[in-house]
């Protein structure tokens, strides 16, 4: 028995010495990883490995699959020998092409605005420095995000493309052939406002602004939870519908979307909370009317030169006037042509939450003036 134990100890000692003496050059070598804690995000996982950070994005449309895996490696460091599978991204990014206005705003807040070398969809970006950069040529305007100017992209030599993925889009077209890392900004498909905001940790890592992202998120989280708790204490839970008909469909936020969760956290009963999806659901007018005709409030967002009125809304589609919220003048509008709703909501949901609580429970904030929404005029 002693001989068996001695032999086992010798084998263990040999294995330990072998492990200390050097690494295997095969991909089967085990490399310890440490998970970076995320409390709310369901579609993002961050893990620290030896010489890299692994960011794994779950496919929000098929949660059994992975959308993308990125391996973030510092530019001044050697690439580790034993990397897991994934797209290598050298960080911090210093010449990124950013497709979306919301991420341009976040990058500015993180203090990394000089790292934006190019953009798409300039007409939607309200950041003054980017508008000026495109005018003087210091920032490349690559045009339409659905069909960007490939020649301009090639000339700017971006170190990454940041864009939003869509279900069944069939890929990203010609830019995929450029061998430039494509960062899929799928945060908009998260299932809670804080879950989406928490993606700023990932973007902070990409631009070398991890500490700034941590600091911003801590404040957002603290504010949001305090506001949510205040709304929860209210016994009144008004009913709510949102948005408008577009063509033949009325796109309503799913019950598991960030917007659907926002309504619940603001202490309202959203008419379509039972829709178990994290995106939008196209419904017929008849379906929306059947379920939402007696809703206490109606929130709409639009983009136009003048603020929308009840008269204009009825001219847009006369059956709107049949809703209780229309009759009782409880429709609130957000004109995104002037109000930074889409820029603020993704990473500062606490600010929008306060607006909604003011609408649904005005006594909780008697002196607060609405920032994003306002009552429709006649």
Delimit the domains of the chain by residue range: 29-90, 234-375
Nearest CA to 341 out of 368, 372, 363, 310 is that of 372
Work out the average pLDDT over 213-225: 98
- Residue 225 host element (H or E): helix 210-233
**Where is pLDDT greater, at 226 or 32?**
226
Work out the average pLDDT over 177-192: 95
**Where is pLDDT greater, at 21 or 368?**
368
- For CA atoms 305, 308, 311, 315, give the dihedral sign: positive
Question: What pLDDT is recorded for position 24?
Answer: 30
Question: What pLDDT is recorded for position 168?
Answer: 66
| Tens of pLDDT, residues 280-291 | 999 999 999 999
Grade residue 238 by pLDDT with cuts at 50, 70 and 90: very high
- Residue 334 host element (H or E): strand 331-335
Distance CA 109, CA 244 (A): 32
Q: Which stretch of 26-40, 180-194, 264-278, 333-347 has the lowest confidence by average pLDDT?
A: 26-40
The yes-or-no verdict on residue 19 having pLDDT over 50 is no
The yes-or-no verdict on residue 8 having pLDDT over 70 is no
Question: What pLDDT is recorded for position 169?
Answer: 65
Question: What pLDDT is recorded for position 1?
Answer: 41
Q: What number of residues does the chain have?
A: 378
- As a whole number, the mean pLDDT across the chain is 91
Work out the average pLDDT over 37-52: 96
Instruction: Judge whether 39 and 168 are in contact, CB under 8 Å.
Output: no
Residue with tokens 């109000």: 339
The yes-or-no verdict on residue 273 having pLDDT over 80 is yes
Beta strands in 235-307 (DSSP E): 239-242, 245-246, 249-253, 269-270, 280-283, 297-302
The yes-or-no verdict on residue 318 having pLDDT over 60 is yes
Give domain 234-375's CATH architecture. 3-Layer(aba) Sandwich (3.40)
The yes-or-no verdict on residue 26 having pLDDT over 60 is no
Beta strands in 61-176 (DSSP E): 66-74, 87-91, 96-98, 116-119, 140-141, 160-163
Question: What pLDDT is recorded for position 82?
Answer: 86
Regarding pTM above 0.85, the answer is yes
Question: What pLDDT is recorded for position 173?
Answer: 84
Return phi, psi of residue 74, to 5°.
-60, 140
The yes-or-no verdict on residue 262 having pLDDT over 80 is yes
The yes-or-no verdict on residue 14 having pLDDT over 80 is no
């Amino acid at each position: 028995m002693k001989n068996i134990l001695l032999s086992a100890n010798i084998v263990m000692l040999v294995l330990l010495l072998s492990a200390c003496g050097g690494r295997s050059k095969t991909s089967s070598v085990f490399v310890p990883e440490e998970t970076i804690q995320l409390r709310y995000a369901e579609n993002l996982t961050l893990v620290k490995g030896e010489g890299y950070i692994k960011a794994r994005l779950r496919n929000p449309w098929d949660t059994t699959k992975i959308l993308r895996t990125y391996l973030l490696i510092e530019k001044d460091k050697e690439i580790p020998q034993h990397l897991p599978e994934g797209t290598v991204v050298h960080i911090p990014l210093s010449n990124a092409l950013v497709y979306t206005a919301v991420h341009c705003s976040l990058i500015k807040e993180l203090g990394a605005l000089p790292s934006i070398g190019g953009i798409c969809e300039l007409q939607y970006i309200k950041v003054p420095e980017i508008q000026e950069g495109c005018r003087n040529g210091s920032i490349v305007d690559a045009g339409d995000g659905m069909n960007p100017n490939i020649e301009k992209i090639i000339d700017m030599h971006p170190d990454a493309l940041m864009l939003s993925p869509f279900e069944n889009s069939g890929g990203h077209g010609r830019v995929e052939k450029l061998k430039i890392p494509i960062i899929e900004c799928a945060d908009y498909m998260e299932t809670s406002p804080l879950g989406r905001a928490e993606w700023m940790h990932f973007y902070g890592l990409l631009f070398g602004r991890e500490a700034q992202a941590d600091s911003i998120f801590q404040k957002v989280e603290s504010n949001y939870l305090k506001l949510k708790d205040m709304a929860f204490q209210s016994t009144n839970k008004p009913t709510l519908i949102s948005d408008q008909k577009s063509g033949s469909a009325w796109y309503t936020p799913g019950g598991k979307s960030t917007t659907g969760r926002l309504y619940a956290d603001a202490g309202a009963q959203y008419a379509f909370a039972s829709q178990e999806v994290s995106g939008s659901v196209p419904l017929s007018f008849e379906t929306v009317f059947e379920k939402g005709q007696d809703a206490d409030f109606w929130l709409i967002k639009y983009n136009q030169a003048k603020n929308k009125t009840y008269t204009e809304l009825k001219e847009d589609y006369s059956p709107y006037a049949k809703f209780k919220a229309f009759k009782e003048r409880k429709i609130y509008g957000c004109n995104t042509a002037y109000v930074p709703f889409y820029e603020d909501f993704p990473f500062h949901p606490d600010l929008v939450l306060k607006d909604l609580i003011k609408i649904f429970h005005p006594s909780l904030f008697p002196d607060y003036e609405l920032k994003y929404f306002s009552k429709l005029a006649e």
